[in-house]
Chains A and B, each alone.
Chain A
Amino acid sequence: MKRQILTFVSGFLFSIGLSIGGMTMPSKVIAFLDVAGNWDPSLMFVMVGAIGVYSLIFHLIKPKMEKPVYAEQFKLPTRLKIDFPLVVGAALFGAGWGLGGFCPGPALASSFLFDIRILVFIGLMALGIYLGSIIQLYIPRSFYRND
């Protein structure tokens, strides 16, 4: 039970951070990416704060633990090499992020507003994930360096 509460609390804190930080405002996201126009660097400090806290804990506390408090092992990504799909995927994600001003975390954090824009974004994002898995079948294996 404790580990289930902890997981919920983690998500809860995450969206408190997103909203205090300003990530839940697409206008703020667009202004952050608008380096060639009216650039607003505010959201850079969200990255600084998040990376600062996470890297301290990841590099100083986690190595002292044999395993997570409520799990058998730490599960880190197993793909380690840079490959073509990574770059193309990141580019497509960036295009969508700049076009709409939403990324997955803030969109889901705003889902209970039941705003049509959020619902459309989340619905199409789910469809996109499904489409992505179909597109992936047609990417030649030789483009991957992580298998």
Chain B
Amino acid sequence: MITFILRRVVQTLVVIILLSYVCFGLMTLMPGDPVEMMISANPRITAEDVVRLRTFYGLDQPIYKRYANWVSDIAQGELGYSRTYRIPVTEMMGPALTSTFVLSMCSLAFSLIVAIPLGIICALKPNSRLDYIVNLFNFAGISVPSFWLGIVLIIIFAVNLGWLPAGGYQTTGLQYTSWFHEMADKSKYLILPMLSLSIQSIGRFSRFTRSAMLEAMRNDFIRTARAKGLSRNVVVWKHGFRNALIPLITIVAISLSSIFSGALITETLFAYPGVGRLIYSSIMGNDFNVAMVSFVISVSMVLVMNLVADLLYGVVDPRISFN
């Protein structure tokens, strides 16, 4: 058990370090060298100035040295400044991470609430008409491009019906009178991004619940429970669903990273100030410091969540041994 945990932790760390190094190297290959941008902004810069600036920013050193410097800065809690906004990266990361966390968790909760009952209903009546309709919906869910669905939702609910805002995080200039007021206002902005982010996981979870539940209901102990005279609800939830839960937890854990992936697009589409949008806009705006930090932190978070899910796995199903 201990060796398993240690091995997984070391693996995760190695992946994070390798990934951040590769990412650091790739950033230098992106268009928009910082010194070149200064040159184009100021025609009076001479060749000596360029050399001096390159040395000043450490750009004349090889990548691995620059990477080592960067890591030691990070280790000391020095995340650097955003080139675009001229504020410390730490100030940007906090709110962005919170927003993304709220969005992802809402989406995860929503998709589970919708998908699990759908999957169970289908599993209890396989090959019924309802099953076919839900199946079609599931396939549509995993096949629809989420950004396009977001656009369609905006057209319907923001442009035509005018019920919900087309994008943003909160109503600008609004003074919140109470905690409840704030929640109500912000959740209004959360609905459309959450819907477009959830649809894919709903499809995936629902298909998975259906097959796991079908498998579980085929067990002998289900027949025994029925024969014993237990009510349908007890059989389905206590005996069937509990056993279907184990494979479901796996797929939920795997889905965390794909939900985060989707959040990047959804946040960009809805101008929702999360970390996904931060990664995208900082890369597009050549704000490499922000891009690097937000990328590494968010990917590490996903990896750590995967690690936690892996460890929890043994808690949920005692039959699984880590050896």
Do A and B interact with each other, yes or no?
Answer: no
Binding site for A on B (CB under 8 A): none
